[in-house]
Each structure stands twice: as structure tokens, then as C-alpha cells.
Amino acid sequence: MKPRRLLLAAAAGIAACSENPAELRRQGEAFPVIATWTAAVGPVGSSAVTGSLSVQQHQGFRMDAALTLTDTTSTDTQSTRYQWRIFRGDCATNTPAVNAPNAPSPTGLLLFATVQSYPDVTVDYVSGTGSAAPVIAGNLDSLTAYSIRLRLFQTATNWNGTNPIACGNLQRN
């Protein structure tokens, strides 16, 4: 008699779930913005690249980024391609992260998200501007310093953030 009651209770539970499913959010617009971050990108050294980054951080581990770059000093007749990344660490930091065996956390620059999160930006030689608007998985921590760093395009994607041609510190608004 006991197994029959268990079976009946399980069947009732399954039937109840199929009739009244939990709400499932699949569209990004359904997740509210919980923070906005911005950065003014300035040239480093003799570079003339400037820009701005705006990040809308959504509830649900997702960020919409909007990057605009400007380089009006180019005299070439070809567009210039740049790589960009968000790193933990401000623009004053120029050493890669070191994760010593006994250290509780790495120190120095540490890449935020994956390399695939950052599409290259091509600055058109006629207008002198370029942009990218990727969706990045993750959330920035308001107690941590972050910077956006740029370099000229290279085939190697494993950049540690050192020696950028332009940099900007992210600020939570």
C-alpha cells in the first residue's frame, strides 16, 4: 500500500509541474540593468588613439558593451585594426598577473572574461572612427579597479595587457 501512495504522490507532483511551469527568461531585454560603467580611453606614449567605453551590467551575469575609437592622425590609405580587452587593474598597473602557489589571489593585470568576448575594432581611415558592441558574460565588481586597454592588431590573442597604446579606467556611474 505504501509504494502505491508514493507513486500516486509522485505522479501528482509531476502533473502539477507540467501544468504550471516556472517563468523562464530567455531574452536579454528581460534582465534589468543593475550598474553602468564608463571609461574615457586616452593615448599612451606617442599613440593618438582615443575613445570611450560604456558598459551596461544586467542582472543575470551579462553585460552590453559599446566601444568607440578615434584615430584621426593616420595618413595611411588603409583602415587600422585594434584589439581591446578589459583587465582587472587600473591604467597605472603594467605588470601581468602572477599567481604564486601560496598567494590567495593573483596580483597585477588579469583578463576579464575570455578573449572571444572582445571583437577587434577597425578604425576607418576616411572617418577615423570605429566601434564594437559585444555582449560579455560576467559582472564587474564595484570594489575592484578595471581598465580597458588597446593595442594594434596582432595574430597572437594571448595578450597580458602590458604596454597598451591606449588605456582608460572604468568608473561605476
Looking at the chain, which runs of residues are DSSP E strands? 33-43, 50-58, 62-70, 80-88, 110-111, 121-123, 129-132, 135-137, 146-152, 166-169, 171-172
Query: What is the predicted pLDDT for the residue at 20?
Result: 47
Residue 119 lies in a domain: yes
Cell numbers placing 9: 504522490
pTM of the entire structure?
0.79
Letter string b/e over residues 2-32, b meaning 16 or more CB atoms within 10 A of that residue's CB: eeeeeeeeeeeeeeeeeeeeeeeeeeeeeee
Cell numbers placing 15: 502533473
Residue 134 lies in a domain: yes
Residue type for position 91: C
CA-to-CA distance for 41 and 107, rounded, in angstroms?
23
Residue 120 lies in a domain: yes
Please report, in tens digits, the pLDDT of each residue of the chain (173 residues total).
566 665 566 555 555 555 445 555 556 567 899 999 999 999 999 999 999 999 999 998 899 999 999 997 766 678 899 999 999 999 999 998 876 566 666 778 999 999 999 999 999 988 999 999 999 999 999 999 999 999 999 988 788 999 999 999 999 99
The answer to whether the beta carbons of residues 35 and 140 sit under 8 Å apart is yes
The CATH number of the domain where 91 resides is what?
2.60.40
Residue 17 lies in a domain: no
Residue 147 lies in a domain: yes
Q: How many domains is the chain built from? A: 1
Residue 10 lies in a domain: no
Looking at 59-159, which runs of residues are DSSP E strands? 62-70, 80-88, 110-111, 121-123, 129-132, 135-137, 146-152
DSSP 109: B
Residue 35 lies in a domain: yes
Query: What is the predicted pLDDT for the residue at 158?
Result: 85
The answer to whether the beta carbons of residues 110 and 159 sit under 8 Å apart is no
CA-to-CA distance for 133 and 33, rounded, in angstroms?
16
The answer to whether the beta carbons of residues 65 and 36 sit under 8 Å apart is no
Which residue segment(s) compose the domain that 120 sits in?
29-172
Residue 163 lies in a domain: yes
